Chains A and B, each alone.
Chain A
Amino acid sequence: RRAQFRKFGCFCVNFSRTHVNYEVKEDVAVIRINDPNSKVNTLSAQMESELTQVMNEIWANDAVKSAVLISTKPSCFIAGADINMIQACKSAEEVTKLSQEGQMMFDRIEKSPKPIVAAINGSCLGGGLEFAIACQYRVATKSKKTVLGTPEVMLGLLPGAGGTQRLPKLVGLPSALDMMLTGRNIRADKAKKMGLVHQLVDPLGPGLKSPEERTIEYLEEVAIGFAKGILSKKIPLTKEKSLMQSELQDYVMGIEFVRKQIYNTVNKRVMKQTKGLYPAPLKIIESVQTGIEQGPEAGYLFESQNFGKLAMTSESNALIGLYHGQVACKKNHFGTPQKEVKTLAILGAGLMGAGIAQVTIDKGIRTVLKDTTEEGLNRGQQQIYKGLDDKTKKKSITSFERDNTLSNLIAQLDYQNFDKVDMVIEAVFEDLHIKHQVLKEVEAVIAPDCIFATNTSALPIKDIAAASKRPDKVIGMHYFSPVDKMQLLEIITTDKTSKDTTASAVAVGLKQGKVIIVVGDGPGFYTTRCLAPMLAEAVRVLQEGVDPKKLDSLTTGFGFPVGTATLADEVGIDVAAHVAEDLGKAFGTRFGGGNVEMLKAMVEKGFKGRKSGVGCYLYKEGTKNKEVNPGFQEILGSFKMTPSAAVSSDADVQYRLVSRFVNEAVLCLQEGILSSPVEGDVGAVFGLGFPPCLGGPFRFVDTFGADKLVQKMKRYEEVYGNHFTPCQLLLDHAKDSSKKFHK
């Protein structure tokens, strides 16, 4: 009779809860979470309150001896706290209160008399990870979608629900700091090695149900087994510490002096990397330190208070804005294209062409890479192989996946089978005549519905399309080098480009994993056009006698990841000269400042930047320390200009560079090249390295104040003229402080 009771003893409890439910299987409570309104689970107010209710019931229920916490979503455990909930807070105190509520909830979880097993499949990030590490045991699937991490730092925050306190205890001080300071995702197998999870479960293939469904079910079965095993003491809760290494590490970490050294070293490294522009990493270190050195009470207090303070910083606001922007720019706002691109052809196997091919073939798209010479084609293929092989060496893909991916690449010198291609992206030399010639050649062989995309950084698309028989199929796709690393894709449409063509280009870009902004046509479009005046200003600054290294430190000190002189070398001095000249012609004296002739003189001497080994700097293989190129200094000597003391302080030089960039960006919005400030911010940060802590040119104007910026520009305008004339939209914002680009 008792056995029978047990058999039917599975009773489901479901009142009016929508996000969290539980079922008791024998004596194990299986808590299932699922936010019905979203693709991912977040620790929203609703979720937290239901979780609290459920936990209280479980703790009160004598029939329950242990619990399993699992998400029913196929690729998400809990993706983190609800950002909107934090953003809705008006003061640091409010956010601190949120943090303390989270801390208290997880404290109760940690002290639960009934063991709780977190069964993790999919993303387990931020608050989700903090929840999981408060549980007594963690089982994760080995799926590629299962990632664990604390990405708070990337939003200018710290892990505010006990993460800074629990993580060091779990994985050791160095690993914990590394996780929290980089915010990187950790795959399941690595998490197991680190001691972040106890057990791994393999994802299953198709059986009697869909793989996703059955994998979650299997994970639940296994987790229940562990929950029972913990109760019966068959499964130990202590970490396996068989490795000498970890025992040694524990010993070393027990020495206060050693810990101090670590805090110092990490602090220094953070300061070096962030130039002190990002408060979150420092607070993370401090919070960990407080907990370890002064005890948990002080640690938790520090964590919650600083979580609140950080949430109110402009840096966090900027980073969260970028996060939202990035999400928005990963959607196709132009609908589903009529025809899916299954075969893509790329013309030109140079750095760009090969890079585009590399990010295409691994998405299962057949890719034809065409060049005119065998050497060029071979170089491109080698680049692609190396790119994939590096991933193999890092074990992010297997050698089999590498080979399988490469099977999508077809390298050729002629136009064979171009009639079967759905889209062509040309990445040939930036010369209008050559582009016209290629366009005509290609249109003669492709099918009528094939799209022709041109990868150019400055040539107006309508000029290129002028040679086309079907301008509605012509579009610009501006990739950034190196293509496999840079996230941005700038898509440029002309008046004649059809909506379907745009939809198709965006679809391809999204498949390639890009963050996409779609902008109007014009010389330099958006990104190049913003960069050009800043580079012109940088050239002037150099001509005025500022050392390239000084220029670099001024710009990185402002938050640019790469100094402007180094950036010019990376872009290529010849490209910079080309662009400066073209845009100078198009926009007139406003784009003046530095002398283009100086760039040309550099090119003549062969100082083309990194690719030629010399530019502003000398590049030697094997060394990271680069010296200023003496030949460049000689050229600088003959182009010397006299600086004006009134506008040449370090800060003024910084604002001269940045204000020209920002003004041009605002002008792009004013002229309709940009359709929204969000795209402007995303494009500037992801494509040009505009300081992420400022959130992009538009966020910068909002935070810094348009009036203050205009004041500065007026001062520079007095010295340099129209290079610094603020545009109308900027003036409008300066006049009315209630006008903001971001709400």
Chain B
Amino acid sequence: INIVLVEGVRTPFLLSGTIYNDFMAHDLARAALLGLLNKTSLPKDAVDYIVYGTVIQEVKTSNVAREAALGAGISEKIPAHTVTMACISANQAITTAVGLIAAGQCDVVVAGGVETMSDMPIRHSRKMRKTMLTLNKAKTLSQRLTLLSKIRLGYLTPELPALTEFSTNETMGHSADRLTAAFGVSRREQDEFAFRSHSLAKKAQDAGLLSDVLSVNVPGKGIVSKDNGIRPSSMEQLEKLKPVFIKPHGTITPASSSFLTDGASAVLLMSEEKALAMGYKPKAYLRDFVFVSQDPKDQLLLGPSYATPEVLEKSGITLDDIDVFEFHEGQILANLKAMDSDWFAQTCMGRKSKVGVLPIEKLNLWGGSLSLGHPFGATGARLVTAAVNRLKKEGGQYALVAACAAGGQVVFDL
């Protein structure tokens, strides 16, 4: 079965704590879903299945896909589920959809992702939760009072959702700074790349190339139709920034790391037969994908280096055949160096020689996660849509999408 991408959309990606401040995750997901249905004029009962990816889950809407679907007026008879795989959650949603179609389970699937960092579930401490749960079971007043009297001030310290790896207790930023050091990525190179990302994003935005961005009406605040994190500045300004994770000698600054972002994305996938039967003109074929995983401490963000050669070999094409590269901009420079290193290929990847030099002139030409933002759960679908739109615009044949995530990673070949 040929699986095709009919359309992809996303809400504008906004800095957390700005206009989406009052939205819950399912609100954003609903906006993306509705936008997709409206853009494609897809009848609400034509969808067979909905899959969404998200990272930090709102406990009230743990199956955020289902809540968004119901809110978007999609028939309650259509099942939906939510997946999570750190920063490649949306990629996981898309590949899940591909699997459902390939297995003949469904013909039409909406896959997407959502993240809001404006509102995060902050919990009571474990001790406090335990006391409160026991309190529920206490029968008499004196039992309750005894329990309450055991509460100490320390119990009230809240627990914030962690952006740390559970297994290593290291924050992503810290790990990334170590990774750049391991590959000898200089501060200058990172600043230059950040500058490039913002400049390209700005250009694409001004030229109207970011056609996947929807207009979203935010109650009480108005209509948003542009990403608000794109800030082209000068190298001089970037040089002045101080490192954020490893102080004072680290190399990653606020400019060379993604800001906290809110946003949602969605893609419409169908079997080719169904798409044609419904009168759609598919934008691209989804050919192949792989997931890989490595040591969560020292190779946390190196997924693309491992996955790129694997998926190319699987599809029988080479790096030179690819016209469009859309890579998640999380430690992309370290990945580029890794792919260009014989030592790394031989020692860590078990390959005879290096993967090769990735042509930077084909990479992320419309900006990337550094400039557009990175709502964890939603980025994967943005990458795929951007790759597809660039293929059409630039007239290429193959696109490669890669992203790194905590522990796992994915590559598409379009």
Contacts and interface: CB of A to CB of B under 8 A. Distances in A.
B343 A209 contact: yes
B19 interface: no
Contacts, number: 63
Contacts of A226: 249
Interface stretch (A210-218, A376-384, A625-633): A210-218
Nearest to A217: B184
A256 B179 CA distance: 50
Given A199-B249, A400-B166, A400-B169, A208 B341 contact: yes
Interface string A506-523: 000000000000000000
Contacts of B174: 202
A644 interface: no
Interface in A213-233: 214, 218, 222, 225-226
Interface string B233-251: 0000000000000101100
B168 interface: yes
A201 interface: yes
Given A205-B182, A205-B297, A400-B169, A210 B347 contact: yes
B353 to A, nearest CB: 14
Contact of B246 (A202, A208, A400): A202
Interface in A173-228: 199, 201-211, 214, 218, 222, 225-226
Q: How large is the interface on A (under 10, 10 to 19, 20 to 34, 35 or more residues)?
A: 20 to 34
A218 B181 contact: yes
A91 interface: no
Given A204-B298, A206-B344, A211 B167 contact: no
A211 B298 contact: yes
Nearest to A199: B249
A205 B295 CA distance: 10
Contact of B178 (A202, A209, A210, A235): A202
Given A201-B249, A208-B183, A218-B181, A400 B344 contact: no
Nearest to A139: B249
B337 interface: yes
A398 interface: yes
Given A199-B249, A398-B169, A400-B168, A206 B298 contact: yes
B76 to A, nearest CB: 41
Contact of A207 (B166, B169, B183): B183
B178 A206 contact: no
A264 B106 CA distance: 82
Interface residues of B, number: 27
A218 B185 CA distance: 11
Contacts of A218: 181-182
A479 to B, nearest CB: 32
A203, A205, A225, A400 — most chain B CB neighbours (10 Å): A205
A124 to B, nearest CB: 20
Contact of B348 (A206, A222, A225, A235): A206
Contact of B179 (A207, A209, A222): A207
B125 interface: no
What is the predominant secondary structure among interface residues of chain B facing chain A?
Answer: loop
B299 interface: yes
B171 to A, nearest CB: 12
Given A398-B169, A400-B169, A204 B249 contact: no
B167 to A, nearest CB: 4
B344 A207 contact: yes
A207 B182 contact: yes
Nearest to B295: A205
A204 B168 CA distance: 14
Contacts of A214: 181-182, 184
B51 interface: no
B338 interface: yes
Interface string B292-304: 0001011100000
B347 A205 contact: no
B169 A211 contact: no
A255 B359 CA distance: 69
A205 B299 contact: yes
Contacts of B177: 202
A209 B246 CA distance: 22
Interface in B161-219: 166-169, 174, 177-179, 181-184
Contacts of A209: 343
Nearest to B298: A205
Contacts of B249: 199, 201, 222, 225-226
Contacts of A208: 182-184, 337-338, 341, 343-344
A318 B179 CA distance: 48
A202 B245 CA distance: 12
B334 interface: yes
Interface in A352-399: 398
A253 B51 CA distance: 65
B167 A207 contact: no
Contact of B182 (A199, A211, A222, A235): A211
Nearest to B183: A207
Contact of A206 (B166, B168, B182, B246): B182
A188 B343 CA distance: 30
Contacts of B179: 205, 207
A398 B168 CA distance: 8
B250 to A, nearest CB: 9
B147 to A, nearest CB: 25
Interface string A290-331: 000000000000000000000000000000000000000000
A237 to B, nearest CB: 14
B338 A207 contact: yes
B165 to A, nearest CB: 9
Nearest to A210: B347
Interface in A654-706: none
A466 B298 CA distance: 52
Contacts of A222: 249
A634 B338 CA distance: 78
Given A209-B343, A400-B168, A204 B181 contact: yes
19 contacts: A202-B174, A202-B177, A202-B246, A204-B298, A205-B182, A205-B298, A206-B347, A207-B179, A207-B181, A207-B341, A207-B344, A208-B182, A208-B337, A211-B182, A211-B298, A218-B181, A225-B249, A400-B166, A400-B167
Given A206-B344, A207-B338, A214-B184, 20 more contacts: A202-B174, A202-B178, A202-B181, A206-B298, A206-B299, A206-B348, A207-B179, A207-B184, A208-B183, A208-B184, A208-B337, A208-B343, A208-B344, A214-B182, A218-B181, A218-B182, A226-B249, A398-B168, A400-B166, A400-B168
Which 7 pairs across A and B sit closest by C-beta, in order of nearness?
A205-B298, A207-B182, A204-B182, A207-B183, A400-B167, A222-B249, A208-B341
